[in-house]
């Protein structure tokens, strides 16, 4: 048999295996052995010699096939290589067929420990084949017979082993006392399955067991992420929130509270689906809430089975309550692991200690003292069955035995076990060594090696990625219980200090060590950082709970204010008024922070938040005041703080409008964060506010193409919908607005933006009922956020819809409600739309527009040369001229509107300008016969682009000017 799941070798039955040489002939044998159906000569030659001509490649192939036959002849398998015309086939048995009892093929190292240098095509083939073999292993593992792939059952546990292997439930929970052998049984039933491990006291950070497990399988995980056809690849950046090493230099999309948890849960599910067919969980009772929720989610589906172990009497009420519905629905099987009986003890002892001969009396005593607990049994045998108080409860007896064995160790080995017990989690050897205070150099290395080996030989420590850990939780708890308080506190302090320098350590674990060291205020500082990690993992509610704790309990005002600032940020855009009130309350206490650096840092964050809040509330005057102070602080702020400050200052500059200032800030942002995807987003927005509509669209389209994963962190789809609508692409604009609503479902701020765009697009398309519903929902959300700006936008767009529906009086009432919200606005885009709607509404009602409104429009147009502002100004002039009966002035204004629209690609505005020109020419007395072809052309253009109102108006003109009633009701031929 040709072995390819282990280092490649030819293994004849009953003889010594012959390693496969790392040569081209041997590689040809590997390729042909895997390709059971055979391969054409040309394809095989191109695989190894892609740069050679076809003639030369086939020559190389013939030479190396001759050598391959010689190698096969030496194995006694020369007849296996068969040629049928140009097709080559190798009939050779391999270990690749349905080997679910072997470890899964490693996609990053296959064939294992075997490389052929200089042949990139073969290397690529190995990578692709390894991925396919791994997928096949997963598929076969899910479909294999129940007993395939299991290790032998532990003695006296055959029945439970059989139940574990044959259970069809999506989830199974193995319950037993500490030391009952739950972990051993799980590992025997599923020897190749990854295992999540709950850790006592370290459940403050969500998904910790999952992440610890994934880190031990990082090469396979990276291979799954790199697989272009894999289901995990689209979730790479979501997974990178939990494992930053997956995208160390890549900015991650901003999170939102409603989609983050679902995305992270799906990313984790796909990650483990790519690695295993079944997942093990040890010490479920110590797993964090997020991990338990994820396991429950798995159990409600059929994508990935899990098998867990937990201590019967340490299952908290919340965990039991969470599992009960699952058990009641038949999707969770409960399996008890009982104590060993006296009758089972002889077989257990023979299996565990084959060289020992236990008499009946010894077995009686061992059973009495161990109470049938396998761990206690092992401790008794290891200690020579010492005299321990039989009247004590089993936990006390186990503790006595562990402590007795611990005291028997040399001092340095004992300290190593103590350090591991305090850490709780497995840690690299360097961490334990640092806690022991050993010097660097050869002498320290030798002392550490001796202590480590002694602790492992005594069964007190075991290797567990990424380093060492106590061999059993009972050893850990007994060791910690034996430490005097000052020694325990010192070890926790040293552990916290060492972990603080490890990039993989989580802040909550460090905080727990500081708490155990008796330093609660330092622990609160780390819990603040932990809350930031919680937020990054989508656990917004838990993060806010921690920040409230820090704000209430910290004696450090700066730390308390930082926590309150984070809490205020959670409301910043959801309820603008409440967010401003919280920020103002923080500002009132800021002078109490004495440290200048801390004062600057907090004020910088505070001012940036206030600018952001006021910009989106439409209160530019207040935003400008806060921005002035923020600019003063900028030079002294850390780089990360400056990045956010530049972003909010750009938002303000675009709306003031000060487009040159926005571009200058954009340049500084690019210098500070050159890889930030938001750079393209701001580029598009600045182009938009500066009047370059096509350039804005192109920048946002590039952003969507390069960073599709960022659609849930940046408003790419919403902003593209705005550009597409401005460019007159109705169908595309609607699709993009709906995509944005899906991406940002439940996020009120962005939902409002997208509903406003969608309502406007649907109005253009003449789908009035849908438009009305979208704009009504936008108005409701705007009021819930206390956003005067959003509310004004919703009402102005509702007025446009009402005008289209012929309800001018209702439009006037809607605009009257918006008037107080826009009284002080100086944003040209917002003001110009407002004046356009008030003018059209007034003329539709036979009234004269307000002269002050017209003056505001002229001022806005002078301050910002934006095509939308200029087109609206021209449209207002057309309305005024038509109302005054001045056809020539109306025609000149319509031509001005057309020129602006055509030069910037604003198709809907250009089509309307042509229609307005018809009305002006009619007023000027031009003959119907001349104008009717033009009107028909306008109607056709409007129909082709989906401009329903313009099509209706063009048809109405045709009906009124030499046509008939049918013209007014003509169905459009939508293009």
pLDDT at 964: 65
Query: What are the helix (H) ranges across 274-410?
Result: 289-299, 317-328, 345-352, 360-370, 374-382, 394-408
Query: Would you state the pLDDT for residue 229?
Result: 81
Residue 146 has pLDDT above 60, yes or no: no
The reply to whether 288 falls in a domain is: yes
- Would you place residue 971 in the very low, low, confident or very high pLDDT band (cuts 50, 70, 90)? very low
Q: Which residues contact 859 (CB under 8 A, 6 or more apart)?
A: none
What pLDDT is stored for residue 394 in this prediction?
Answer: 55
Dihedral sign for Cα 951, 954, 958, 959, please: positive
- Tell me the helices (H) and strands (E) count for the chain, helix number first: 46, 13
Q: What is the pLDDT of residues 274-295, one digit of tens each?
A: 999 899 999 999 999 999 999 9
**What average pLDDT does the segment 421-442 reach?**
91
Q: Indicate whether 796 and 876 sit together in one domain.
A: yes
Q: Which residue has the tokens 């200058």?
A: 664
* Residue 260 placed within a domain: yes
pLDDT value for 968: 52
CA distance 510 to 506: 7
| 166 shares a domain with 139 | no
Q: Does 109 lie in the same domain as 21? A: yes
Q: Name the least confident of 148-157, 454-463, 818-827.
A: 148-157
> Are 738 and 879 part of one and the same domain?
yes
85 and 228 in one domain? no
* pLDDT band for position 974 (cuts 50, 70, 90): very low
Of 910, 931, 963, the one marking the end of a domain is 910
Query: Which of 437, 403, 402, 435 is CA-nearest to residue 419?
Result: 435
Number of structural domains, the chain?
A: 3
* Overall average pLDDT of the 20-29 stretch: 94
CA distance 845 to 802: 13
Residue 583 falls inside a structural domain: no
Residue 134 and residue 38 share a domain: yes
Per-residue pLDDT reduced to its tens digit, 819-864: 999 988 888 999 999 999 999 999 999 999 999 999 999 999 998 8
**391 has pLDDT over 50:** no
State the average pLDDT over residues 444-448: 92
Is 397 a domain residue? Answer: no
Distance CA 874, CA 881 (A): 10
Rounded Cα distance between 688 and 680, Å, is 12
Collapsing DSSP to helix, strand or coil, 774 comes out as helix
- In this prediction, residue 387 carries a pLDDT of 46
What was the pLDDT predicted at 654?
93
Residues 74 and 198 placed together within one structural domain of the fold: no
pLDDT at 288 (0 to 100): 93
Residue 105 has pLDDT above 90, yes or no: no
In the chain, % of residues over pLDDT 70: 95
Domain boundary among 290, 316, 340: 340
Q: What is the pLDDT of residues 904-954, one digit of tens each?
A: 999 999 999 999 999 999 999 999 889 999 999 999 999 999 999 999 999
Q: How far apart are CA 751 and CA 758, in angstroms?
A: 10
List 197's β-bridge partners, or say none. Answer: 282
Q: From CA 666, how far away is CA 684, in angstroms rounded? A: 11
How does pLDDT run across 730-754, given as a tens digit for each residue?
999 999 999 999 888 877 888 999 9
Q: Is residue 253 part of a domain?
A: yes
| 861-883 average pLDDT score | 94
Higher pLDDT: 248 or 515? It is: 515
Residues 176 and 159: their CA atoms lie apart, in Å, by: 15
The CATH number linked to 775 is: 1.25.40.10
H or E element in which residue 306 lies: strand 305-311
Over the stretch 569-579, which tens digit does the pLDDT of each residue have?
876 656 788 88
Residue 259 has a pLDDT of 66
Helix (H, G, I), strand (E, B) or coil at 15: coil
Provide the CB-side half-sphere exposure for 234 (13 A, CA).
Answer: 8
Domain that holds residue 814: 700-910
Are 763 and 856 in the same domain?
yes
Q: Which residue matches tokens 């997963």? A: 138
Query: Do 717 and 835 belong together in one domain?
Result: yes
Q: Is residue 436 part of a domain?
A: no
Rounded to an integer, what distance in angstroms lies between the CA atom of residue 801 and that of residue 767?
10
Determine if the peptide bond prior to 442 is cis (ω within 30°). no
CATH number at residue 273: 3.40.50
Residue with tokens 């994508």: 303
Q: What pLDDT, in 10s, does the model give residues 686-719?
A: 999 999 999 999 999 999 998 887 877 788 999 9
Count the residues in the chain.
975
Q: Check whether residue 16 and residue 136 sit in a common domain.
A: yes
Mean pLDDT of the chain: 90
Q: Are residues 720 and 853 in the same domain?
A: yes
Query: 9-18, 669-678, 958-967: which range is least confident on average?
Result: 958-967
pLDDT of amino acid 366: 87
Average confidence (pLDDT) over 877-886: 96
Whether residue 265 sits in one domain with residue 330: yes
DSSP letter string, 711-729: GGTS-HHHHHHHHHHHTT-
- Which of 143, 171, 189 is where one domain is finished? 143
Tens-digit pLDDT profile for residues 639-679: 889 999 999 999 999 998 899 999 999 999 999 989 888 89
Read off the pLDDT of each residue in 785-791 and give the average, rounded to a whole number: 88
Q: pLDDT tens digits, residue range 361-387?
A: 889 888 888 888 898 888 888 776 544
Alpha helices by DSSP H, 357-484: 360-370, 374-382, 394-408, 411-423, 429-436, 442-457, 473-481
Question: Is the pLDDT score of 970 beyond 60?
Answer: no
- Dihedral (Cα; 65, 69, 74, 77), 10-degree rounding: 130
**pLDDT on residue 49:** 95
Cα separation values, 91 from 12, 54, 79, 122, 728, Å: 15, 26, 8, 20, 64
Residue 292 Cα distances to 209, 288, 302, 327, 506, angstroms: 10, 6, 17, 14, 19
pLDDT over 80 (residue 205): yes
Q: Count the Cβ atoms, other than its own, within 10 Å of residue 372.
A: 21
Any domain includes 471: no
In a domain, 439, yes or no: no
pLDDT above 90: percentage of residues in the chain: 66
């Amino acid at each position: 048999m040709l072995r390819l799941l282990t280092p490649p070798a030819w293994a004849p039955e009953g003889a010594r295996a012959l390693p496969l040489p790392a040569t081209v002939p041997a590689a040809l044998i590997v390729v042909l052995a895997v390709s059971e159906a055979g391969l054409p000569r040309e394809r095989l030659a191109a695989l190894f010699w892609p740069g050679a001509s076809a003639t030369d490649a086939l020559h190389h192939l013939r030479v190396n096939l001759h050598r391959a036959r010689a190698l096969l002849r030496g194995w006694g398998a020369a007849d296996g290589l068969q040629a049928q015309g140009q097709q080559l086939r190798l009939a050779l048995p391999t270990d690749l067929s349905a080997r679910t009892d072997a470890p899964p093929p490693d996609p990053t190292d296959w064939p294992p420990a075997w490389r052929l240098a200089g042949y990139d095509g073969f290397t690529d083939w190995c990578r692709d084949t390894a991925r396919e073999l791994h997928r096949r292993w997963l598929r076969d593992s899910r479909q294999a017979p129940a007993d395939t792939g299991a290790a032998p059952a532990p003695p006296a546990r055959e029945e439970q082993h059989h139940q574990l292997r044959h259970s069809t439930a999506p989830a199974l929970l193995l319950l037993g006392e500490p030391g009952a052998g739950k972990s051993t049984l799980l590992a025997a039933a599923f020897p190749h399955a990854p295992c999540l491990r709950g850790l006592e006291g370290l459940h403050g950070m969500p998904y910790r067991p999952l992440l610890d497990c994934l880190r031990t399988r990082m090469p396979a995980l990276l291979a799954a992420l790199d697989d272009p056809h894999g289901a995990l690849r689209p979730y790479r950046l979501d997974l990178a929130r939990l494992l930053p090493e997956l995208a160390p230099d890549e900015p991650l999309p901003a999170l939102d509270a409603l989609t983050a948890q679902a995305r992270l849960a799906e990313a984790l599910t796909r990650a483990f689906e790519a690695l295993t067919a079944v997942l093990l969980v040890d010490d479920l009772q110590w797993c964090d809430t997020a991990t338990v929720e994820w396991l429950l989610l798995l159990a409600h589906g059929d994508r990935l089975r899990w098998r867990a172990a937990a201590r019967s009497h340490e299952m908290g009420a919340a965990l039991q309550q969470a599992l009960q519905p699952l058990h009641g629905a038949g999707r969770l099987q409960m399996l008890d692991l009982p104590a060993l009986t006296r009758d089972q003890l002889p077989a257990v002892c023979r299996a565990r200690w084959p060289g020992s001969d236990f008499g009946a009396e010894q077995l009686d005593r061992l059973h009495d003292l161990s109470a049938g607990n396998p761990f206690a049994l092992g401790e008794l045998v290891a200690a020579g069955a010492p005299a321990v108080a039989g009247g004590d409860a089993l936990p006390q007896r186990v503790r006595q035995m562990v402590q007795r064995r611990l005291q028997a160790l040399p001092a340095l080995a004992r300290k190593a076990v103590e350090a591991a017990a305090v850490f709780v989690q497995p840690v690299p050897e360097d961490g334990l060594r640092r806690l022991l205070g050993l010097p660097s150099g050869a002498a320290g290395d030798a002392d550490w090696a001796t202590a480590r080996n002694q602790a492992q030989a005594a069964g007190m420590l075991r290797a567990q990625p990424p380093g060492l850990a106590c061999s059993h939780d009972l050893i850990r708890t007994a060791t910690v219980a034996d430490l005097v308080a000052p020694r325990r506190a010192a070890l926790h302090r040293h552990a916290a200090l060492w972990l603080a320098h490890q990039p993989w350590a989580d802040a909550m674990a460090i905080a727990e060590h500081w708490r155990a060291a008796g330093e609660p205020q330092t622990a609160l500082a780390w819990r603040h950082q932990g809350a930031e990690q919680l937020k990054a993992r989508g656990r917004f509610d838990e993060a806010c709970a921690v920040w409230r704790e820090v704000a209430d309990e910290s004696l450090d005002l700066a730390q308390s204010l930082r926590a309150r600032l984070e809490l205020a940020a959670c409301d910043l855009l959801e309820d603008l008024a409440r967010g401003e009130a919280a920020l103002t309350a923080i500002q009132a206490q800021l002078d109490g922070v004495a440290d200048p650096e801390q004062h600057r840092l907090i004020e910088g964050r505070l001012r940036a938040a206030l600018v952001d809040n006021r910009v989106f509330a439409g209160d530019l005057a207040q935003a400008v005041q806060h921005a002035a102070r923020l600019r003063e602080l900028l030079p002294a702020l850390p780089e990360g703080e400056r990045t956010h400050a530049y972003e909010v200052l750009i938002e303000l500059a675009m709306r003031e409008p000060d487009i040159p200032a926005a571009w200058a800030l954009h340049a500084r942002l690019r210098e500070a964060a050159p890889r930030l995807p938001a750079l393209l987003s701001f580029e598009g927005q600045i182009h938009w506010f500066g009047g370059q509509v096509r350039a804005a669209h192109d920048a946002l389209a590039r952003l969507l193409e390069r960073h599709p994963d960022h659609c849930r962190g940046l408003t790419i789809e919403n902003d593209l919908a705005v550009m597409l609508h401005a460019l007159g692409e109705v169908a595309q604009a609607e699709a993009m607005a709906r995509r944005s609503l899906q991406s940002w479902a439940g996020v009120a701020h962005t939902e409002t933006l997208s509903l406003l765009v969608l309502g406007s697009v649907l109005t253009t398309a003449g789908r009035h009922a849908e438009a009305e519903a979208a704009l009504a929902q936008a108005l409701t959300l705007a009021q819930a956020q206390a956003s005067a700006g959003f509310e004004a936008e919703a009402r102005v767009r509702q007025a446009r819809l009402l005008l289209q529906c012929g309800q001018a009086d209702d439009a006037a009432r809607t605009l009257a409600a918006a008037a107080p919200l826009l009284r002080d606005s100086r944003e040209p885009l917002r003001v110009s739309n407002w004046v356009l709607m008030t003018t059209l509404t007034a003329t539709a009602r036979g009234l004269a527009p307000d002269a002050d409104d017209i003056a505001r429009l002229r001022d806005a147009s002078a301050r910002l040369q934006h095509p939308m502002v200029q087109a609206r100004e021209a449209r207002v002039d057309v309305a005024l001229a038509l109302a005054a009966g001045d056809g020539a002035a109306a025609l000149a204004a319509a031509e001005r509107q057309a020129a602006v629209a055509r030069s910037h690609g604003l198709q809907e505005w250009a089509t309307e300008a042509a229609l307005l020109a018809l009305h002006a020419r009619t007023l000027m007395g031009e003959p119907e016969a001349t104008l009717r072809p033009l009107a028909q052309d306008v109607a056709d253009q409007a129909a082709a682009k989906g401009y329903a109102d313009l099509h209706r108006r063009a048809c109405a003109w045709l009906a009124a000017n030499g046509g008939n009633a049918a013209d007014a009701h003509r169905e459009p031929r939508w293009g």
